Amino acid sequence: MLNLERLRTLDALARHGSVSGAADGLHVTTSAVSQQMAKLEREVGQQLLAKNGRGVRLTDAGQLLADHAARILSQVELAQSDIEAQRGQVVGEVRIGAFPTAARGLLPATLTSLRADHPELRVRSRELEPEQAIREVIRGDLDLAVVLDWSNKKLPVPGGLAQAHLLDDIPDVAMPADHPLAGRAEVDLEEFADDDWVSWPEGEFCYEWLMFTLRSKGFEPRIAHMAEEHHTQLALIEAGLGVCVTPRLGRAWVPEGVRLVPVRQLMRRHIYAVWRTDADRRPSIRASAAALRRAAGREGPNPPAGRTA
């Protein structure tokens, strides 16, 4: 009889391509992964892993079994979904991931609503960048993720995921109060070609969007400072250290020395929830998506822009 947890380990190895990657994805040690694989090899009587430089690779038998494991685990997910759906109760555990501004702007109301409406549902949440969150949904480490893309740059979403639109977020340009453009009603991004920029960290989806967008305006931006949190970015702006694009979702406080001005060519962030289609019938997934939609409705498509000139 094949052990389900060992098949899950093999599936993680196939998806991550390394023992350390599988261990991170499963939240276990590399030693635990190696032990599970050794037991699985004894169970099937064949070698499933072979050395590949400093790492490992799946043998032909390992790849064959990994293909079956992926289908088996998908069927297990479907079975769990059907059992939950048949029972019709929102119980158990649901794991939600969200990028930082969604975690700040949507999750508090969402989690409060779920706790009030479904007291037997245990909810765990984490902050994650969109691309990482999608990977974790695919491999089963998250049940649902709140992700984003931009009107001019889409986030690749693999097959096998369901989506629900939550809201469109409109960002503004933040600049010091004494900036020459701070008194304008609208601005064009190309007007900031000679400014220093404060950006999201390199490698993040929003950083890639910012570079793509500014270059499309005909200039190479000078990225002077990088900060993960928008509050940190705005503090740098107040200090006169550059300009930045800042979203409205989750915006609660703007420093006195910062001015926010809308962009004439309207930019939008499309914010939506994703989950595995084989979990679509789970009441906990449906309840979580509904709570997110309600929270997004309270946030509104056009939240206040904050302090402007």
Q: What is the pLDDT of residues 140-182, one digit of tens each?
A: 889 999 999 998 889 888 888 999 999 999 999 999 999 999 9
Structure tokens at 100: 């930082």
Res 307: pLDDT: 41
Residue with the bigger pLDDT between 300 and 1: it is 1
Res 109: pLDDT: 95
pTM recorded for the entire structure: 0.71
C-alpha 192/C-alpha 242 separation (Å) is 10
For residue 113, pLDDT over 80 is answered with yes
Mean pLDDT of the chain: 88
C-alpha 141/C-alpha 8 separation (Å) is 12
Distances (CA, A) of 136 to 27, 195, 209, 266: 12, 37, 22, 32
- Pick from 15-24, 71-80, 111-120, 193-202: least confident: 71-80
Residue with the bigger pLDDT between 113 and 298: it is 113
C-alpha 74/C-alpha 72 separation (Å) is 5
Grade residue 92 by pLDDT with cuts at 50, 70 and 90. confident
For residue 302, pLDDT over 70 is answered with no
Is residue 275 within 8 Å of residue 137, measured between CB atoms? yes
Grade residue 74 by pLDDT with cuts at 50, 70 and 90. confident
